[in-house]
Amino acid sequence: MNKPALIQIMIRTIPALIPHIRPETWEVFRAAAGYDGIRNTYWSIIYDAVYEYLTGNKPVTTFKNAMKKGMVDAFVQAAELGYQDSGGELPMDEDTLAWLGDAQSEELGHIDDLFSRLKEEWDGLDSIDEAFARADGYAATLDSIYGQAKLRGSDNVLLEFGGEDGDESCPECQDLKGKKALKKYILDNNLIPAPGNDAFTCQGYNCHHFWFNPKTGEEFRG
């Protein structure tokens, strides 16, 4: 097992150690290969922003701006990598660029809302637990960006809807299970069960469904 993976296990096993991790250890964590490195870097940016806001006395704009910059950079890097990982060539097509821009704008609003909620709920928050939960949540959205970009960069292949029901499986997911559709149809009809997708009653938060290529087994997760 490589060092970044070992660090990730340590972080998840003993979250209380996170504030005491040395800078050089964080550098190893962030230097993981491929998408893992992008995700790990973003995860640590979110964690630091929330934890330092809750434990420090600097203006909220310091942490909000750091998180926003980290998000913009991570979304671009994840989208470009996902697009290429499925055979697409940069620059990304206009529809994908427009989708990415909309996703970034929406996430900027979520970051503003986050710090407003943190301020309101301040007294009842555990700084380590809150930072950990927020880092996990925002990193899950980054997973969706990578997965959707991977789908967008692929050929117009026939895909099948599958995966586990997870904690919640809404009527839309149940209706789609086992069905097949072309990539273009899936995108045009917003049928990716990604976090926050209002086309699904579950909004993609509590299920583990995804589209996959039945011929190759390649998965396209939202």
Q: Convert the pLDDT of each residue in 58-116 to its tens digit.
A: 999 999 999 999 999 999 999 999 999 999 999 999 999 999 999 999 999 999 999 99
In the chain, where the domains are located: 3-153, 158-220
Query: pTM for this one?
Result: 0.93
In this structure, which amino acid lies at residue 134? R
Average pLDDT, the chain: 94
Instruction: Enumerate long-range contacts of 103-110, CB under 8 Å, 24 or more apart.
Output: 103/75, 103/145, 104/71, 104/72, 104/75, 106/196, 107/71, 107/75, 107/138, 107/141, 108/68, 108/71
The C-alpha atoms of residue 214 and residue 181 are separated, in whole angstroms, by 11
Tokens 């980290």 sit at which residue? 70
Give CA–CA dist 202/179, Å, rounded: 18
Within a 13 Å sphere around the CA of 69, how many CA atoms are in the beta-carbon half? 8
Residues in the chain with pLDDT < 50?
none
DSSP state at residue 21: -
Hey, is 213 helix, strand or coil? coil
